[in-house]
Structure 1
């Protein structure tokens, strides 16, 4: 709604004023927002190093459930301490809302690479990138955390290396019977991350696709994929019986060793 957008734009100006007057950072620009938070690019005054400040959205001010979820994101990032995950520099309260400051990753998301830059990925390149992503997913799962939002806007390429951001929907892994899962995206176990990895791989593969007909078809019909790649995708997407875990998905990747 327009009034909510206006209210949050006003909030951004208040954040800029607060950062300038009450912190050792300089406000650079507003970066964007998600379900729970709004993100800003800031620069540390003495080091001139850039960071991302993420603050809970003001519309969630009275929601204790959302505040707990936001604080859980902070807890998870601190717990993970992995090289491909942004590190937290500080936490605090800003305008009565929780915030945290984390590393700024100066790279491009795969959404930007594909849709803005028009970058194309061969099958071999797509599988190789997926291999690296699965290795990182295994590290997350070994820490007991499932990301649940491994979409192309949340996976970055920074100097040739993959990084994962935005843990707003992440949760601690639970034992879940696959037969009870109605929506793989929201599953609180490895099924969710592998399902998203499947869609991530599809985006990479579609980057070279040139439509020859206006008729809408399934990806199996549109993409000329080797049968082993198509079967692998169907397993990630739960069309076939899903992989038992991320390690199983990595071992089964149809890539030349």
Structure 2
């Protein structure tokens, strides 16, 4: 209850701050996650849109501030990649914020569940190649995203974009994967590859039509070509995992183009 009122106070502070101390106008609140709140802004003169991301009031402890500032720092290091462009940063009260460019597109989550878009096997392979190419560049910068879910991959006019680096971290070269059953939060490239595997399944399920009432495995339901099934199983660490994004991308490029069933 205390945090509810505190967050309400910070929302009012944020609106006042935007109006009085920036060159932007508040359009709407885009959304909020566990750590931050995102606001859509528009520049008063140029009319260009931007996003202000602020740390939530219940996350003002030092560890959360450090994670938030790390996200901002990582974003600044990736300006050559298709990620939001860093503009400025500051504090609203005790809450840090940063301003970044707005990517005018839609997430794969929206495409699948709201727009009812479907993705064939060939579509999925093509999109995943593009995604892995960017993941490869992330890893070359010694950064692992750790949250490559369908709400965090956008389609824009100029291609794919990756957003929300709130869980991103530097790769731990000494991290031991042995015995790790769920690597999605590991500070290791396999974390992003594991997420890419689930990303592919979401796309492939967009054309799935249930045939039986009894729940079965994705392997049984999707009935994918054997090579593609094995490829996804390697991403999901069911079979021997890929060691890095370069290896995963090369393997995907070598898969033959399948005819649709």
Whether TM exceeds 0.5 here: the answer is: yes
Tell me which residue corresponds to 2:205: 206
**Runs of 5+ consecutive residues of structure 2 not aligned to the other structure:** none
- The answer on whether the counterparts of 1:77 and 1:86 sit within 8 Å (CA) in structure 2 is yes
Deviation at 1:6, TM superposition (A): 5.4
Match of 2:159 among 158, 161, 174: 161
Tell me which residue corresponds to 1:30: 29
Aligned mates of 1:5, 1:215 — CA distance in 2:
42
Deviates more, 1:98-107 or 1:80-89: 80-89
Aligned mates of 2:201, 2:10 — CA distance in 1:
38
Tell me which residue corresponds to 1:95: 93
Match of 1:137 among 135, 138, 154: 135
Tell me which residue corresponds to 2:11: 12
Deviates more, 1:246-255 or 1:126-135: 246-255
Alignment RMSD = 1.6
Residue 103 (structure 2) pairs with residue 120 (structure 1):
no
**Runs of 5+ consecutive residues of structure 1 not aligned to the other structure:** none
- The answer on whether the counterparts of 2:128 and 2:200 sit within 8 Å (CA) in structure 1 is yes
Aligned mates of 1:22, 1:186 — CA distance in 2:
37
Tell me which residue corresponds to 1:221: 220
Aligned mates of 2:74, 2:145 — CA distance in 1:
10
3-state SS of paired residue (2:75) = helix
Output one character per residue of 1:187-210: Cα deviation in whole Å (capped at 9) or x when no partner. 111110000000000000000011
User: What's the TM-score, normalizing by structure 1?
Assistant: 0.95
Deviation at 1:160, TM superposition (A): 5.2
Tell me which residue corresponds to 2:48: 49
- The answer on whether the counterparts of 2:81 and 2:134 sit within 8 Å (CA) in structure 1 is no
Deviation at 1:255, TM superposition (A): 4.4
Deviates more, 1:177-186 or 1:64-73: 177-186
Aligned mates of 1:121, 1:96 — CA distance in 2:
44
Output one character per residue of 1:158-212: Cα deviation in whole Å (capped at 9) or x when no partner. 0150000000000000122221424211111111000000000000000001112
Output one character per residue of 1:3-38: Cα deviation in whole Å (capped at 9) or x when no partner. 644543443233112211222111110011112111
User: What's the TM-score, normalizing by structure 2?
Assistant: 0.93
Deviation at 1:96, TM superposition (A): 2.2
Deviates more, 1:78-87 or 1:215-224: 78-87
User: Judging changes above 3 Å, is the alpha-carbon distance between structure 1 residues 181 and 38 closer, same or farther for their aligned structure 2 residues?
Assistant: same
User: What pairs with 1:228-247 in structure 2 (closer than 5 Å)?
Assistant: 228-247=227-246
Tell me which residue corresponds to 1:78: 76
Aligned mates of 1:196, 1:160 — CA distance in 2:
23
Aligned mates of 2:137, 2:65 — CA distance in 1:
26
